[in-house]
Amino acid sequence: MISTNKLEGLMPRMLAIKNEISQTGDSINTFRLEELIQKLNSESIYLAFAGHFSAGKSLMINKLLNTELLPSSPIPTSANVVLVGNGDPEILLQDNNANIYKLTEEMPIEELKKHFKNGDDIQKVLINGRYGIPSKAVLIDTPGIDSTDAAHKLAAESVLHLADILFYVTDYNHVQSQENYGFVREMVKRGKQVILIVNQIDKHREEELKFIDFQRHIETSFSGEDFTNLNIFYTSLLNEAHPHNEYYALKSYIHQVIESKDEVVYKQSMNSLKALVKNHLEKQEESNEISLQQIEQYILEEDTAAKELYAIDSEIAELEGTAEKKVAHLKEDLKNILKNANIIPYQTREAARRYLEASDSSFKVGFLFSRKKTEEELENRKNQLLTELKEHTSAMIDWHFREALTSFVKEVRLAGYSEQTSSFQTDIPGGLPNSCLKKGASYTDAYLMNYCRDLSEAVKKQSLMTAVSLLELLQSSLKDSGGQEEKALRNEAENLRMKLYKITQTVQAAQYVKNHSDKLNSFCKGKSLPDLNIKAELSNLLKPAIPLNIENFSSLRNSTENAAKDVPVTQDRTFSGLNSSRAASAARELRKIPSLKGLADDVEKKLERLNRQQYTVALFGAFSAGKSSFANAIIGERVLPSSPAPTTASINKIAPVTSEKHHGTVDLIFKTADEVTAELNELLQPLQLNISHLHEFGEVYKAAIRRKSATDALKHSLKVFHEALEKNSRLLSEGVGTADIHSFQSYAAEEIKACLVREIIIYFDCPLTRTGITLVDTPGADSLNARHTAVAFDYIKNADAILFVTYYNHPFSKGDRAFLKQLGRVKDTFALDKMFFLVNAVDLAADEKEALLVKNYIKEQLSVMDIRNPRIYGISSLNILKNLGQSYDYSSFQEDFEEFVKRGLSSGVISSIQNDIRRAAAQIEAWIEASAKSQEKRLEDIAVLQGTSEKVLKTVDEVLLPAPSSIISQELTEQIYYMEQRISFQFSDYFKEAFHPGLFTRYDKKTALMIALQELLESVNLQAVQELQALSLRMERFLMNALSEQLQNLQNEMKVLEQGCIFSAYNKEDISTPPIKVELKAHPYEDFQQELSLFKNTKAFFEKNEKKLMSEALQERVGRLAAAELSKAKENFTDFYEEVYENVKKDAAHICKKEAEQYYSNLMSVYEKPLDTSVLQQLMTEMNKVLHEQELENGKN
């Protein structure tokens, strides 16, 4: 039992909090606190009844009162709140202005019931009388929470803070409605003590369902942490004799609660007090446009902005003399590069030795005509030495100089030097080897070392001299650009000052709300309370009721016009950080200005695209990893059959339904005859066989399976195609077929059909596809088939997300490793990490420790493939499909994946919309400034404006369309160099995998060597293809980064010329991949006879390590062939990407110039005919709201 002193101790807290909140102007929470204080002062316990309008609340209260006081009906009756207590008879009415009237004469009960339905004029009806409830107890009847009338809901909500116990009444047939769950859960969350009353159980039919089972089901549904301490009573007011009727148990419970009311009243009053304070603080945050949770972020932003401003001011102050300092620092960096550059490794030193030998006077070649031959040999050796020097100087000095010079130019924002810095090259004179010779010196090892040192120093001196001449040009340009840079910095500083001012205002508002919050929370705990005259405070609150007779009651209607209502705030729907409703509203506002309709169209189109986005999710994994079963699991039905053999697998897509393609429709897309011919020729290539037409395959097939070098896997694949063409060749002429969800499976699972199918599209309606996702089950990632490799890369490049499935206890196959290495190569080229790794069948683990061990092992393996920080989830497709409780990491995967789709994949479109809003804001700001000028000033500025416009258009061309540079060729040269190195590093592993003892025990020597050589060539060929595929993505990123830098340089120039002209973000969505063709594996066995002849016998090869000799010989030969293939690819890539780069630059320049022309055309119109600045200011406010909300969202993330 709680002490009276503790209950009384609540009053000072409530009064202190009420006084503090009232000073902020929050009238709603102030009023509710006043009601709470009045209720506490009455020493009564308030028992509220809520629920569905037809659940029997009013009838229940009438029965408890032993009188027909409240109207009851199957349709909504109570429109206001009715409070009934036991005491001297009186009727009080409270209007919507909180005025309380006391009826001075008795009102007939039927007349009174009419006023219970008058929610327009009367907010509450308070009735005291001699009813069948204990004194100091008040029963509250509320409007139905399911009412469609917003006022009814508002009335129900407005009294819940007073309820000490909430009796939630629901009728028998609607117990488990979402509305019931939601309302009860919310009340429990608020700390309310809720009693669930399942009324009208007389509707139950025992023959249909045992009542005990019904009870068990209800109690299970309302169990768990969301419904703690929830008591349930089952009642019938129509059939008191019902065997399960607990009405009298309920009545007894109510009386027990009333008897021990102090404990309940204290607890619930504290909960209500805390809830009202929380609601008040949320409103304070909203009105001040701040979040208390982000106060540290605001302070950090203020500190960051202040530091940025200080840095820019310091930069302006130190601008004088910085050119010399920066160039001096760069020169030191270049000297350090030279100091660490080893341009004379072993091979070059050998070339120097050979040159010194030839330079010695005693050196002669031959007997006849020896002088001429000696001179020729000396010249040859000198040229060899020069070639070595140039190659290593380029790799160890020039590349690093180019990088340092290019970075410097970018850092100091110098335009026009990209060609000179990116094409830097040390010019090594042809006479350099001779000039370093010491006359009279004879050849010794010591002399060789001294000569190499002199040679190195001479080259480095030449490099530095070449660089210094360029540094002098850069220093001169830096001095010239200092004035413009200073002007741009001052503009930037001014913008930062404005930003700092706004942030400071936000910090001050947040600090105020924080202090206010701390004070209120302290008051809640009874700490630091002010000295209050409790009696006087209560006297001001407890004003006497206004006497009112029945005739004058109608005058109440006129007193409610200015009633203050707590209108629920409608929350705009947000989409991954963007308030789309706000953005749409901004677009509508923009449309009101004719010259901004184009921008409005852009925003609306992007919003529509955002809402209708379609995503492709590619599913990769080995054929035995359970990809299809996982696909079935995430769509919730067994649709896909298990995958067939690698060479015959088709692409299976599970796509959203459309108006034409209904749920369960399946499209079958068959291969063409040419596609099957190409696939067969790839299979036949290792056997040096091919066909021109499909009708030739029958004879070639017979020859192929007789070849000793044909492996079992190859024979099986050829046999499948042979049988398929004999039985199902008609499919090739059908093009596209249709099936249903059951009949299509044979085309996916039966090899002799599946090998002729290119793609199967299943239109399936499920939660996954409703989000716009098409799930693509690709051919196995462990396939080395060229078509599968090309398909895989296409999906790696273009898919929005990649799910890689591996089986719990399956090691990565050779194909898996090749595929994962490819993922590792390209991972950093994507704007988002779109890869998810799933360990299937984790239910096979003995325990959680073992499952974690496997996941950590896979993480280590992925790290070897250069896939860092992977997202790995242990799942069980079987358990998911069977809806078993143990889902392992599947829930985490679902949450992470949903967040990735909602936030990550939409970020590009959102960023573009925000940039459009930013552009609109900048333009409007320029219009406001122009419209505010006098007519005379505007006329003066028009000529200046025309000149600036011309200068801007010229600047666009100068920045974006300089003469073609060599950056692409240089980037490709460097990339191909490292590509050759990686292939060389991998070669020994490929050799070991291909030339293994088991092969030679199974086949004769020649066949084994043929098979091993073919596997070796295929491995190197595959790496070369995958390296080039990855290079294509790197080049796309390289080009777009280079263009992005140019566009940023252009925008920096615009800060000086015209700050209001902001260009849209350029986005080249689709850059095609250049044709990639590597023909290493096409070289016949006979081309490698010399290297393969090193094999004498198995024992010598494996035990005496003769395989090392063959490995080195083959590495030399295959390395040359690979280098030749990559060289051809480099030429093709150079031509392709130079054309792409020129096209995107022209496209970007065209867009920028078009936007600039539109900007100045609009601005000129404003100069000639000013706009209403108040309209523009209002429009500017709308734009800033969108941008401000995004800044807050970015702060959260």
**All residues at 6 or more sequence positions from 509 whose CB lies less than 8 Å from its CB, including other chains:** 288, 289, 290
Phi-psi label, residue 620: left if phi above 0, alpha if psi -120 to 50, beta otherwise: beta
**All residues at 6 or more sequence positions from 213 whose CB lies less than 8 Å from its CB, including other chains:** none
Query: Letter for the amino acid at 991?
Result: F
What whole-number distance in Å separates Cα of residue 764 and Cα of residue 652?
Answer: 12
Q: What is the mean pLDDT of residues 182-195?
A: 84
pLDDT class of 871 with cuts at 50, 70, 90:
very high
Residue 430 in this model has a pLDDT that exceeds 50: yes
Question: What is the phi/psi pair of residue 108, to 5°?
Answer: -55, 145
Q: Report pTM.
A: 0.53
Q: How far is CA 1087 from the centre of its chain?
A: 51
pLDDT class of 571 with cuts at 50, 70, 90:
very low
pLDDT class of 964 with cuts at 50, 70, 90:
low
If DSSP states are collapsed to H, E and C, what string results for 870-917? Answer: CCEEECCHHHHHCCCCCCCCHHHHHHHHHHHHHHHCCHHHHHHHHHHH
Residue 626 in this model has a pLDDT that exceeds 80: no
Question: Tens digit of pLDDT for each residue in 261-283?
Answer: 888 899 889 988 998 898 888 88
What whole-number distance in Å separates Cα of residue 722 and Cα of residue 496?
Answer: 73
End-to-end CA distance of the chain: 48
Contact 168, 197 (CB under 8 A): yes
What whole-number distance in Å separates Cα of residue 1161 and Cα of residue 1167?
Answer: 10
pLDDT of residue 557: 42
Residue 884 in this model has a pLDDT that exceeds 80: no
**CATH fold label, 614-671+737-745+756-905:** Rossmann fold (3.40.50)
Residue 398 in this model has a pLDDT that exceeds 70: yes
Sheet holding 165-171, edge to edge: 231-234, 193-199, 165-171, 45-51, 137-141, 81-86, 122-129, 90-95, 100-103, 546-548
Question: Tens digit of pLDDT for each residue in 695-733?
Answer: 899 999 999 998 887 877 788 889 989 998 988 888 887
Residue 1129 in this model has a pLDDT that exceeds 90: yes
What whole-number distance in Å separates Cα of residue 521 and Cα of residue 29?
Answer: 15
Task: Give the dihedral of Cα atoms 1136, 1138, 1141, 1147; nearest 10 deg.
Answer: -90
pLDDT class of 53 with cuts at 50, 70, 90:
low
Of 632, 623, 650, 630, the closest CA to residue 751 belongs to: 650
DSSP string, 247-286: HHHHHHHHHHHHHTHHHHHHHHHHHHHHHHHHHHHHHHHH
pLDDT class of 372 with cuts at 50, 70, 90:
confident
pLDDT class of 1193 with cuts at 50, 70, 90:
low
> What's the helix, strand, coil split of the chain in %, to 5?
65, 10, 30
pLDDT of residue 647: 38
Q: Tell me the helices (H) and strands (E) count for the chain, helix number first.
A: 42, 21
Of 420, 350, 451, the closest CA to residue 392 belongs to: 350
- 1021 C-beta neighbours (distance < 10 Å), count: 22
Which is more confidently placed, 790 or 1062?
A: 1062
Which is more confidently placed, 57 or 734?
A: 57
Q: What is the mean pLDDT of residues 413-430?
A: 83
Share of the chain above pLDDT 90, in %: 15
Parallel, antiparallel, or unpaired for β 81-86 and 231-234?
A: unpaired
Assign 762 to helix, strand or coil.
Answer: strand
Residue 1132 in this model has a pLDDT that exceeds 90: yes
Which is more confidently placed, 1085 or 761?
A: 761
Assign 760 to helix, strand or coil.
Answer: strand
Parallel, antiparallel, or unpaired for β 773-777 and 665-670?
A: unpaired
pLDDT class of 73 with cuts at 50, 70, 90:
very low
Question: What is the phi/psi pair of residue 100, to 5°?
Answer: -110, 125
Could you tell me the two tokens for 223?
Answer: 């169990």
Of 923, 914, 922, 916, the closest CA to residue 1194 belongs to: 914
Parallel, antiparallel, or unpaired for β 651-655 and 757-763?
A: parallel
Residue 597 in this model has a pLDDT that exceeds 90: no
Residue 92 in this model has a pLDDT that exceeds 50: yes
pLDDT of residue 642: 55
Contact 965, 419 (CB under 8 A): yes
Task: Give the dihedral of Cα atoms 751, 753, 759, 764; nearest 10 deg.
Answer: -90
CATH 1.10.10.10, domain 45-263, yes or no:
no
> Buried (b) or exposed (e) across 946-984, using 16+ Cβ within 10 A?
eebbeebbebbeebbeeeebebbbbbbeebbeebbeebe
Question: Tens digit of pLDDT for each residue in 214-259?
Answer: 898 788 778 876 677 789 999 999 889 999 999 999 999 999 999 8
DSSP string, 825-887: HHGGGSSS--EEEEEETGGGSSSHHHHHHHHHHHHHHHHHTT--S--EEE--HHHHHTT-S--
Question: What DSSP element (H or E) covers 753?
Answer: helix 751-754
What whole-number distance in Å separates Cα of residue 521 and Cα of residue 31?
Answer: 19
pLDDT class of 321 with cuts at 50, 70, 90:
low
pLDDT of residue 732: 82
Hey, CA dihedral for 137, 141, 145, 149, is it positive or negative?
Answer: negative
pLDDT class of 566 with cuts at 50, 70, 90:
very low
Residue 108 in this model has a pLDDT that exceeds 80: no
Question: What is the phi/psi pair of residue 310, to 5°?
Answer: -60, -40
pLDDT class of 28 with cuts at 50, 70, 90:
confident
Which is more confidently placed, 82 or 99?
A: 82
Question: Tens digit of pLDDT for each residue in 774-823?
Answer: 999 876 554 555 556 677 778 888 888 999 998 776 657 667 788 888 88
Contact 395, 368 (CB under 8 A): no
Mean pLDDT of the chain: 82
pLDDT class of 151 with cuts at 50, 70, 90:
very low
pLDDT class of 1130 with cuts at 50, 70, 90:
very high
pLDDT of residue 1126: 94
Could you tell me the two tokens for 124?
Answer: 């509450």
Chain position carrying tokens 């009545």 = 251
Residue 922 in this model has a pLDDT that exceeds 60: yes
pLDDT of residue 250: 94
Assign 312 to helix, strand or coil.
Answer: helix
Question: What DSSP element (H or E) covers 316?
Answer: helix 295-317
What whole-number distance in Å separates Cα of residue 824 and Cα of residue 1030?
Answer: 9
Assign 580 to helix, strand or coil.
Answer: helix
What whole-number distance in Å separates Cα of residue 24 and Cα of residue 33?
Answer: 14
Residue 736 in this model has a pLDDT that exceeds 80: yes
Of 352, 411, 410, the closest CA to residue 384 belongs to: 352
Which is more confidently placed, 1057 or 169?
A: 169
Question: Tens digit of pLDDT for each residue in 1136-1155?
Answer: 999 998 898 889 999 899 88
Contact 305, 503 (CB under 8 A): yes
What whole-number distance in Å separates Cα of residue 1050 and Cα of residue 1044?
Answer: 10
DSSP state of 763: E
Residue 78 in this model has a pLDDT that exceeds 60: no
pLDDT class of 195 with cuts at 50, 70, 90:
very high
pLDDT class of 570 with cuts at 50, 70, 90:
very low
Q: CA gyration radius for the chain?
A: 41
Residue 931 in this model has a pLDDT that exceeds 90: no
What whole-number distance in Å separates Cα of residue 854 and Cα of residue 849?
Answer: 9
DSSP state of 1171: -
Which is more confidently placed, 654 or 181?
A: 654
What whole-number distance in Å separates Cα of residue 933 and Cα of residue 622?
Answer: 70
pLDDT of residue 646: 44
Contact 272, 284 (CB under 8 A): no
